[in-house]
Structure 1
């Protein structure tokens, strides 16, 4: 995204959505400053003069650190296209694996590298790796994650299996199951990796 740099843009002039940035991003900006400038565009929102094209969470973090402060920003002059709109709307406002996953997928459709996505979302490299893994979830598994029936740690294990196997796991549990446990997901993966015939050796192991 190309544009003009503004060295001292007051936060009060930017339309920053409500929400808190991830703790790791707040700590990073406190320690190192705002390394990657946000991208904004002039608009007409009453007293607000700029809307955010990229960097919502970075600006939320800066606002938390110094509410009356200002930032270095890139001002985009030309109207943004559909891809930019998708980007702006999907940069998540709070720590939420599902919304981050949606943002990750949208950015990847724009042919962005994991390193660029990491900067855009304000995450650590390991967090982007997790999102890349979660992107392998089947639709049913992702729905369970969104409902809170599948924890992120269990979802990461489940995502290592083919989509059909993920759906088999979900179908094997009663519909009223309140939550799929990490233990049950690990057991299912072991069953998938080592069919029962290959596990027969366990019967020969003496109990202590």
Structure 2
């Protein structure tokens, strides 16, 4: 096949144009046409995965489900490929590696493809976009995909929201999760915490500790928000100053005065030499006795 190289595709077209190639949509209803027309079909053994594919793990169960669908309906959405740099006559998969793997399980011999001339940067961008669109991504993987698109390609949250069909608040909330420490992010990856639980912990002093409490107690999102609020209130509450250790002379003087008066006497010294003496009486009779003692001492 001769590939048209006149209109170079990729970043110059903008994110929305790239999205047109990688939209992942459900299979069309009977009688409907697939969203994109394939340029041609290519044998499975002439396709090779992208070595820089950000996604490294593919669920065996999900691949088997996709393979069953392919056995029944075929590959509805064409794979996006580019001519291989390593082998003449072969193609590198840009988007659609899951469909390629599932087609092998389904024992298909060839798949429909769209051939595109893309450079390495464009290939990486499309791979990230495709992964973001996958429904089985966890919140951390999705957030990291957004962060890559923003850091590496200069896309804004508004631009991503418009092109990906997401709300700006959805993208912003997911990006905030990346502020959490690695142990909390791992809880999200493993499904022990939801994104809602994790968002409540972002502004706390020790999100790792609170995350373990949430998991152990199987708290709801609302209960987690309450726990985070309580932790913040405890932080803001003024702490009582730690009492200074009294020296032996002061303690001896307290004991002597207490024994002479028959009442409890405490002495508190301040660093500047000032202080206070407190006499605790148990009844009005004790108060009369104290007043008489003090009057007699004048």
TM-score bin, normalised by smaller chain: 0.5 to 0.7
Question: Of 41, 61, 67, which aligns to 2:82?
Answer: 41
**Partners of 1:63 and 1:71 in 2: how far apart?**
10
Give 1:64's aligned residue: 105
Contiguous gaps of at least 5 residues in structure 2: 1-17, 22-35, 51-55, 234-298
The structure 2 residue matched to 1:12, chosen from 24, 42, 45, is 45
Structure 1 contact 11–70 (Cα < 8 Å) conserved: yes
Alignment deviations for residues 35-91 of structure 1 (CA, whole Å, 9 cap, x no partner) = 22111000233477111222222222222222x5211100003x3262432333685
Mapped to 2, the partners of 1:61 and 1:36 lie a distance apart of 13
Whole-angstrom distance in 2 between the partners of 1:7 and 1:169: 52
CA distance in 1 between counterparts of 2:69 and 2:146 reads: 21
Distance verdict in 2 for CA 1:48–1:63, change over 3 Å: farther
Post-superposition offset of 1:9:
0.4
The 1:33/1:48 distance shift into structure 2, 3 A limit, reads: same
Between Structure 1 and Structure 2, how many residues are aligned?
174
TM-score with structure 1 setting the length: 0.57
Bigger-Rg structure (1/2): 2
Over the aligned positions, Cα root-mean-square deviation in angstroms equals 4.5
**Residues 20, 61 of structure 1: 8 Å contact kept:** no
CA contact (8 A) 2:84 2:91 kept: yes
Report the CA distance between 1:193 and its aligned residue.
6.6
Gaps of 5+ in 1: 116-129, 198-208
User: Structure 1 pair 171/181, CA: closer, same or farther in 2 (3 Å)?
Assistant: closer
The corresponding residue for 1:113 is 164
The 1:61–1:145 alpha-carbon spacing in structure 2 relative to 1, beyond 3 Å, is farther
Could you tell me the TM-score, scaled by structure 2's length? 0.43
Query: Greater relative contact order (Cα 8 A, min sep 6): structure 1 or 2?
Result: 1
CA distance in 1 between partners of 2:188 and 2:124 (Å): 31
